[in-house]
Structure 1
Amino acid sequence: MLTRSALEIAQEQLLEAAQLAGASPEIVQLLAEPQRVLEVQFPVKMDNGTTKFFKGFRVHHNYVLGPIQGGTRFHPEETLEDIKALSLWMSIKNAVNQLPAGGGKGGIKCNPSELSKGEKERLCRAYVRAIAPMLGAMKDFPGADIGTDIETQSWMLDEWEQMHGMRHEPAAFSGKGLLLGGSAGRPSATGLGVSLAVIETCAKLGKNLAGLEVAVQGFGKVGSWAASLLSRKGAKIVGVSDIGGFIHNANGLDPDALLKYTQEHNSVDGFPGGKSGAKEQIFSCPCDVLIPAAVQSAISEDNASDIKAKIIVEGANGPITPNAEKLLNENGVVVVPDILANGGGTVIAYLERVQGTYNYYWTEKEVHIQYEKMFKDIYNQLYSLSSQKKISMRMAAWSIAISRIEEGVRLRGWI
Structure 2
Amino acid sequence: MISNLSFVTPTPDSPWGTYLMQVDRVTPYLGHLARWVETLKRPKRALIVDIPIELDDGTVAHYEGYRVQHNMSRGPGKGGVRYHPDVTLEEVMALSAWMSVKNAAVNLPYGGAKGGIRVDPKKLSNKELEKLTRRYTSEIGFIIGPQQDIPAPDVNTNGQIMAWMMDTYSMNVGATATGVVTGKPIHLGGSLGRVKATGRGVFVTGREAARRIGLDLQGARVAVQGFGNVGSAAGELFVQAGAKIVAIQDHSGTIFNDKGFDLAELMPHVRATGGVGGFKGGEKMNAEEFWDVKCDILIPAALEGQITAERARRITAKLVLEGANGPTLGSGDDVLSDRGILVVPDVICNAGGVTVSYFEWVQDFSSFFWTEDEINVRLDKIMVDALKRIWAVADEHKITLRTATFAVACERILIAREERGLYP
Q: Into which bin does the TM-score normalised by the smaller protein fall?
A: over 0.9
Shift of 1:162: 1.0
1:304 corresponds to: 312
Q: In 1, distance between residues paired with 2:351 and 2:242?
A: 23
2:291 corresponds to: 283
| Contact 1:242–1:279, Cα closer than 8 Å, also in 2 | no
| Contact 1:304–1:324, Cα closer than 8 Å, also in 2 | yes
1:212-291 mapped onto 2 (5 Å cutoff)? 212-291=220-299
Shift of 1:47: 0.7
2:69 corresponds to: 60
1:97 corresponds to: 106
Shift of 1:279: 2.0
Residue 200 (structure 1) aligned with residue 208 (structure 2): yes
| Contact 1:244–1:279, Cα closer than 8 Å, also in 2 | no
| Contact 1:228–1:256, Cα closer than 8 Å, also in 2 | no
Deviates more, 1:39-48 or 1:247-256: 247-256
Give the secondary structure class of the aligned counterpart of 1:61.
Answer: strand
Residue 317 (structure 1) aligned with residue 325 (structure 2): yes
Deviates more, 1:234-243 or 1:102-111: 234-243
Shift of 1:27: 2.0
Q: In 1, distance between residues paired with 2:251 and 2:408?
A: 35
**From 162, 187, 207, the counterpart of 1:179:** 187
Deviates more, 1:201-210 or 1:398-407: 201-210
Give the secondary structure class of the aligned counterpart of 1:216.
Answer: strand
| Contact 1:289–1:309, Cα closer than 8 Å, also in 2 | yes
TM normalised by structure 2 equals: 0.95
Q: In 2, distance between residues paired with 1:135 and 1:164?
A: 11
Q: In 2, distance between residues paired with 1:259 and 1:376?
A: 29
Shift of 1:363: 1.2
Deviates more, 1:353-362 or 1:258-267: 258-267
| Contact 1:243–1:279, Cα closer than 8 Å, also in 2 | no
1:161 corresponds to: 170
Q: In 2, distance between residues paired with 1:176 and 1:347?
A: 15
1:371 corresponds to: 379
| Contact 2:12–2:18, Cα closer than 8 Å, also in 1 | no
1:76 corresponds to: 85
* Alignment deviations for residues 59-99 of structure 1 (CA, whole Å, 9 cap, x no partner): 11111000000001111111101110111111000000100
Q: In 2, distance between residues paired with 1:63 and 1:371?
A: 23
Q: In 2, distance between residues paired with 1:251 and 1:23?
A: 53
| Contact 1:21–1:399, Cα closer than 8 Å, also in 2 | yes
Shift of 1:23: 5.2
**From 398, 411, 415, the counterpart of 1:390:** 398
TM normalised by structure 1 equals: 0.97
Give the secondary structure class of the aligned counterpart of 2:309.
Answer: coil
Provide closer, same or farther for how the CA distance between residues 256 and 383 of structure 1 changes in structure 2, counting only shifts above 3 A: farther
| Contact 1:23–1:403, Cα closer than 8 Å, also in 2 | no
Residue 45 (structure 1) aligned with residue 54 (structure 2): yes
Shift of 1:42: 2.4
* Alignment deviations for residues 247-274 of structure 1 (CA, whole Å, 9 cap, x no partner): 1122111234222212333332332222
Give the secondary structure class of the aligned counterpart of 1:377.
Answer: helix
**From 22, 39, 45, the counterpart of 1:36:** 45
Give the secondary structure class of the aligned counterpart of 2:313.
Answer: helix
Residue 328 (structure 1) aligned with residue 333 (structure 2): no
2:8 corresponds to: none
Residue 117 (structure 1) aligned with residue 126 (structure 2): yes
Which structure 1 residue ranges, 4+ long, deviate > 3 Å from structure 2? 23-26
Amino acid at match of 2:226: G
Shift of 1:239: 1.1
Amino acid at match of 1:252: G
Give the secondary structure class of the aligned counterpart of 1:159.
Answer: helix
* Alignment deviations for residues 260-293 of structure 1 (CA, whole Å, 9 cap, x no partner): 2123333323322222111222211101100011
| Contact 2:33–2:411, Cα closer than 8 Å, also in 1 | no
Amino acid at match of 1:131: I
Q: In 1, distance between residues paired with 2:283 and 2:87?
A: 34
Q: In 2, distance between residues paired with 1:105 and 1:152?
A: 15
Residue 348 (structure 1) aligned with residue 356 (structure 2): yes
Amino acid at match of 1:268: V
| Contact 1:194–1:342, Cα closer than 8 Å, also in 2 | yes
**From 9, 18, 25, the counterpart of 2:27:** 18
Shift of 1:359: 1.1
Q: In 1, distance between residues paired with 2:264 and 2:422?
A: 51
| Contact 1:191–1:315, Cα closer than 8 Å, also in 2 | yes
Provide closer, same or farther for how the CA distance between residues 404 and 3 of structure 1 changes in structure 2, counting only shifts above 3 A: closer
Give the secondary structure class of the aligned counterpart of 2:278.
Answer: coil
Q: In 2, distance between residues paired with 1:156 and 1:256?
A: 34
Give the secondary structure class of the aligned counterpart of 2:147.
Answer: coil
| Contact 2:37–2:414, Cα closer than 8 Å, also in 1 | no
Number of equivalenced pairs: 413
Give the secondary structure class of the aligned counterpart of 1:77.
Answer: coil
Shift of 1:3: 6.4
User: Which runs of no fewer than 5 residues in structure 2 stay unpaired?
Assistant: 1-10
Amino acid at match of 2:383: F
* Alignment deviations for residues 339-394 of structure 1 (CA, whole Å, 9 cap, x no partner): 00111111111111111111111111111110100011011111122122111000
Give the secondary structure class of the aligned counterpart of 1:287.
Answer: coil
Give the secondary structure class of the aligned counterpart of 1:252.
Answer: coil
Shift of 1:40: 0.8
Deviates more, 1:276-285 or 1:89-98: 276-285
Q: In 2, distance between residues paired with 1:356 and 1:342?
A: 23
Give the secondary structure class of the aligned counterpart of 2:310.
Answer: coil
